[in-house]
Amino acid sequence: MNRPIFHLIFMVATMLLCPISGIAAGQFVVVIDAGHGGGDPGTLHRKFKQDEKTIALNVALKLGKLIEQNHPDVKIVYTRTTDVYPTLPDRTRIAREAKGNLFISIHVNSAQSSSAKGVETYVFGITGLQGKSAAEQKRIRERTMIERENLDIDGKQIDFETAVDIETKILCQAQREKHNKYSQEVAHYVQNNIMSALRKSDYRSNAVDRGVKQKNIFVLCYSPMPAILVELGYMTNYNEEKFLNTANAQTLFAQAIFRGFEQYKSNWSKRQLREEIEVPVVADAPAIADAMRPEPAAETSAATTTPSNTVTPAPSNTTATPSDIATPAPQPEPQPNPATEPSNATPTPPAPKIDVAYTANAPAGTEVPMLEKRSCYRIQFMSSTTRFKRGDAALKGLWPVQCYEVNGYFRYTYGEAADRSDLQQAILKVRKSFPDAFSVHFDENGNRIR
């Protein structure tokens, strides 16, 4: 077999088995694309000041800020943050290199008729191919490429066939069908939230829902992840241009897209949980407030000292809140009562020692330590390519925590117990800050048992 063809087939097989997006790996990556920019103004303003490129960028930056403030564990990648023009192939390359889980392109519409108005959201698709010959299908594809969104900075139609290499074309095609239902899902969430916001606003009398549609759009075609393009309204309509030029409207659109993003992200997390979870936590299991509350080093004589970098953990019987978790009070180990303890009782082995970085007294800026290797159950609550430190917003005050690494992603855990049921109360507390937290079983070598 020809070597280049073999490599291409291998790449396609790899793509089908291992998604290019970060879905299996843990961290959510969203790519935000503000349409046009630089020397390409998009739809020009008529009666008011801002062109399409400015409105799209303003909404994109507002959207990114909302995600950053409310979901610090999400990685945000912009195709542009200033008035520059990335080419259409550049935009899709940025999305592919980011290995995004979601691509959101923001635009404003135009039409020859000044009466056209409304909001619509697009996913990739070409209608009318079924039952047609290969030649007819080719003509349909070529005709559907003639779209305003597929023009380059010089106003020329981009060539879908030559703009990307053959490997990219085949790999994106292999991923497209798998991601289509998720593109439809997020598109409906975004469209519905925009219309809901408009109908509650002062602009409600002019709100027109043009729905979710399919279109042969370059940035959707070559972004191998769930991808949508939102048209916020028509600059060629006087009322819509006036509304789109206001800061209130741009904030409204950003907030509505953000709510759609949150709904999709929640479903994504649940899908992740279904893939990861083993056995649900027993509802009536015995309560334990904190599965891993470390205790201070025991007092010793001058002749015997405890190393300064170790500490003995011990469970506590008090219920912890998220703030308690961040700064738990050390509990002294109860002393045995010789009058009541049987003389033939088997002595309890000492609890394993852990690094001081894992204690409640670790200073801010302490890097999350790697997982201690022992057989136990832990609560996994987050996954990220970043190894966080104490005080980072992504941890939401949860401490002490540990992490383990899988394929370049750090998976964060809290608490520890010999029996899964003993994590019942602790997991409920963690889920107040991390709703998708679940229990994980590890063997004595620190390997996860599935």
Residue 68 to residue 64: CA distance in whole angstroms = 6
Q: Which of 422, 401, 400 is nearest to 289 (CA)?
A: 422
Bridge-based pairing of strands 438-442 and 376-384 is antiparallel
Say if residues 48 and 242 touch (Cβ distance below 8 Å): yes
- Our measurement of the distance from residue 42's CA atom to the centroid of its chain's CA atoms, rounded to an integer in Å, reads 29
The angle, 0 to 180 degrees and rounded to 10, between the axes of the packed helices 166-199 and 3-17 is: 30
DSSP 393: G
pTM: 0.56
Enter the DSSP assignment of 328. P
Per-residue pLDDT of the chain (450 residues; tens, 9 = 90+): 554 444 444 444 444 444 444 433 457 999 999 999 998 888 887 778 899 999 999 999 999 999 999 999 899 999 999 999 999 989 999 999 999 999 999 999 988 889 999 999 999 876 544 455 566 555 544 444 445 555 665 556 666 566 666 666 666 666 667 788 899 999 999 999 999 999 999 888 778 999 999 888 889 988 889 999 999 999 999 999 999 999 999 999 999 999 999 999 988 888 876 655 433 333 232 332 333 333 444 443 333 333 333 333 333 333 333 334 344 444 444 454 444 444 454 444 443 333 344 566 778 888 999 988 889 999 998 888 788 988 888 888 888 899 998 877 788 999 889 888 888 888 888 888 888 788 888 998 888 886
CA nearest neighbour of 254 among 17, 405, 68: 68
The answer to whether residues 217 and 138 touch, using CB atoms and an 8 Å cutoff, is: no
What's the rounded Cα separation, in Å, for the pair 271 and 103?
18
Please report the domains of the chain, with CATH numbers, ordered by start residue.
3-275 (3.40.630.40), 277-296+311-326+352-449 (no CATH)
Helical packing angle, 166-199 and 247-276, nearest 10°: 120
Q: Phi and psi of 290, rounded to 5°?
A: -145, 110
Buried b (16+ CB within 10 A) or exposed e, 34-50: bbbbeebbbbebeeeeb
Whether 371 contacts 442, CB under 8 Å: yes
